[in-house]
Structure 1
């Protein structure tokens, strides 16, 4: 059994790589997916955010306006620190529960899909860490197109994350997603062979 940490930057294509690994047979623990579950009305993160930010971050149907929260958090380091301190323990608890379940089920490859893997310190839970990265100008263009952000907002989101060079230093393996999809998937295929045949040391 191998536990692989998968991370990247915003709009790096990490989710594409994660989905492909799942197709190949990996068991995925998706930190963003867990966070979304915990943000549903009545769940712990929903209540914490509502109590902290107030009604201004609610949509008319009572669900959270995640874009409004994002704008508050990315423009204020203090709010970002509060959010991380509140959300990370709850998400980590759920990650650990799922990891234990997959280990009990003897899954061959477990992937911890975590955008802030290094920032949260959760890379210590993985045997190997794989980084999906792109050239910064491509990252900026993709983020603007995907989320409808202006250049300034997109650049601020990117700047709030750990720099690529620091992540590259910490990662055990790299996937360059700056080119075509087929090029990216070939890199994943090579890593999959390594993980499933050569083992993870």
Structure 2
């Protein structure tokens, strides 16, 4: 360990607002990105403890023919009611926290300057005090719904259930240090992300990271 303390940015936002695009843009500019969705996929590989618990909790209907988790079926089952969603979160979050901590430790040991952690439920699971800066990506609901139905293939019901399960957009914006409004095209978001990256670097220098 070389003693480096990375400047940690929590990247979150509303459903289908464009968090992943912002994360990619920041990675291209030099940030080390930790994606909670990737961590979630890693901890539920066949044979893992979380995989076994999900299979037991939700049944064979969430298992794909190749033995991996059918994420679409699992999403539908988990968002059927509040208790099911809480059950999935309970299974997943402990494993994700452990793996995230390992990745952060590895990045610090490598002398990484800035870590961006993409976490859809950052506020909902009480992680906001872990970060030096919190960035929320948002867009009007109708824009996000069109994206979810178009590029992700969700149904309107799936989008509504997932959107309703998260903290209100207005509250996320209120708690954020920075808000990126992604109602426009990718070029506009790239320009906004470029400005955000400059802010992050200034803040990282100011913090001594």
Q: Same fold (TM over 0.5)?
A: yes
SS at match of 2:192: helix
SS at match of 1:119: coil
Paired position in structure 1 for 2:3: none
Q: Give unpaired runs (5+ residues) of structure 1.
A: none
SS at match of 1:3: strand
CA offsets 1:176-200 (integer angstroms, 9 cap, x no match): 1101211111111111112213535
Paired position in structure 1 for 2:147: 142
Selected match of 2:65 from 60, 77, 95: 60
CA offsets 1:34-55 (integer angstroms, 9 cap, x no match): 1001121112221110121122
TM superposition shift of 1:150: 2.8
Given that residues 112 and 126 in structure 1 are in contact (C-alpha distance below 8 angstroms), is that contact kept between their aligned partners in structure 2? no
1:121 and 2:126 matched: yes
1:9 and 2:9 matched: no
Q: Which stretch has the larger CA shift, 146-155 or 127-136?
A: 146-155
SS at match of 2:123: helix
SS at match of 1:120: coil
1:78 and 2:67 matched: no
Taking the aligned partners of 1:61 and 1:112, their CA distance within structure 2 comes to 30
Equivalent residue runs for 1:146-185 within 5 Å: 146-185=151-190
CA offsets 1:68-114 (integer angstroms, 9 cap, x no match): 11111111100111111111111011111111111222211111111
Instruction: Give the root-mean-square deviation of aligned CA atoms.
Output: 1.4
Selected match of 2:114 from 98, 105, 109: 109
Q: Give unpaired runs (5+ residues) of structure 2.
A: 1-5
CA offsets 1:3-46 (integer angstroms, 9 cap, x no match): 10001122111000001111111011111101001121112221
SS at match of 2:23: helix
Given that residues 3 and 126 in structure 1 are in contact (C-alpha distance below 8 angstroms), is that contact kept between their aligned partners in structure 2? yes
Residues 56 and 196 of structure 1: CA distance in aligned 2, closer, same or farther (over 3 Å): same
SS at match of 2:124: helix
Aligned residue pair count: 201
Instruction: State the TM-score, normalized to the length of structure 2.
Output: 0.91
